[in-house]
Amino acid sequence: MNIVERFLNYTQFDTQSAEDAGKTPSTDKQLVFARFLKEELIEEGLQDVELDADGYLYATLPANTDKPIPTIGFISHMDTSPDASGYNVRPRIVEAYDGKDIVLNEEKGIVTDTKTFPELLQHVGEDIIVTDGTTLLGADDKAGIAEIVQAMVYLQEHPEIKHGTIRVGFNPDEEIGLGAHKFDVAKFNCEWAYTMDGGEVGELEYECFNAAAAKYQIKGVSVHTGYAKDKMINAARIATELVGMIPETELPETTEGYEGFYHLLSIEGSCENATLSFIIRDHDRKKFEARKAFMQELAQKLNNKYGNDVVTVTLKDQYFNMREKVEPVKHVVELALKGMEESGVKPKICAIRGGTDGAQLSFKGLPCPNIFAGGLNFHGPHEFLPIPSMEKAMMTVVNICRLTAER
């Protein structure tokens, strides 16, 4: 089986995760795919294949040399985003892409046009996998899984390539921020690892946001509007006042690169009660802590204005910038860069304006940069996957295994 067939097989599994499910994995359908992958890994000759009750799948490719070599790992996630349907995915291969707009669904008038998605033009002449316009594709992150599995097959078919013990791990619920929470780093037993979960070919990421969530509860006082003077406290109106206190220059839609932001996820309320949920992001740890302090100050300012305990805020750290844990072992990055170059890929180091499982794993003791998987326009019907990018990602995995042994 080649890598394209493998990926196309994976897309037939609906593995959408779900927010606030209160269980792991968040959806039972992820386990259906995990069981399929378990059998596939066994059939492909991997050892120590284990699927735990929470849907975490681990396996080993034994070393083919007696030379002492660090055990390294490769990780991808099985779930797809809740943002778009992953049911009944109908992938199609556009052969030798000609640089024009791609009609995904003529009946529904769904087109991936090059003006909106100029990244298409970087792949003229290549075979590209697209959707039928009604679902996402699932390259995030089934492309990563296909690349890792195919690399393990390739290494077994080429015993002349010497490598140490290789561990692979596939986890649920990355898309809802819980992928690394129950990942058993001790069981995985690697000195370092890589997540295959990046986008465009050549991307290598070992910097991400520091991340926190802020939730405000506003307690109002409801009084008949005819008699409300000096009595009513309108929680819904205070909520809008709070939103107006966030600088407009520090929002996701007004920032880029290393610029941090505050993002309003949801707001709901009435005169008596209102709730707001924000996320806070910044690459710089000091600025991140200052942002959290600012959110607390907003609550205090409103309480000074409307009375104590009208506004309460709860802050919760989500993950931290993995650079802090990766830089002391920079050879992990250098191996990935060389592995890309030897696969014919020009590396592009970027900072993630988000987070990966690797960020949390790095703080659990497993340094874990993120490597491109090749897909683009994730989480929607315009997602596409250039086949050469997937093949180069697979060879990057192979080269990292070889280079680790040579090192």
> pLDDT digits over 32-64, tens only?
999 999 999 999 999 999 999 999 999 999 999
Low-confidence ranges of the chain (pLDDT < 50): none
The pLDDT value recorded for residue 175 is 92
- Catalytic annotation, residues: 79, 174
The H or E element that residue 203 is part of is strand 203-207
- DSSP β-ladder status, 203-207 and 370-372: antiparallel
Count helices and strands (H / E) in the chain: 10, 17
The H or E element that residue 341 is part of is helix 331-341
Strand partners, 7: none
**CB-count burial class (<10 Å; 0-12, 13-18, 19+) for 407:** exposed
**129: helix, strand or coil:** strand
**Per the omega criterion (within 30 degrees of 0), is the bond before 197 cis?**
no
The pLDDT value recorded for residue 353 is 87
Domains of the chain and any CATH numbers: 3-208+322-406 (3.40.630.10), 210-319 (3.30.70.360)
The pLDDT value recorded for residue 152 is 98
The pair of three-digit structure tokens given for residue 206, joined into one six-digit string: 């070992």
pTM (predicted TM-score): 0.87
Quick count: other Cβ atoms within 10 Å of Cβ 268? 11
The pLDDT value recorded for residue 318 is 86
Alpha-carbon distance of 117 to 99, in angstroms, equals 11
**37: helix, strand or coil:** helix
DSSP state of 280: E
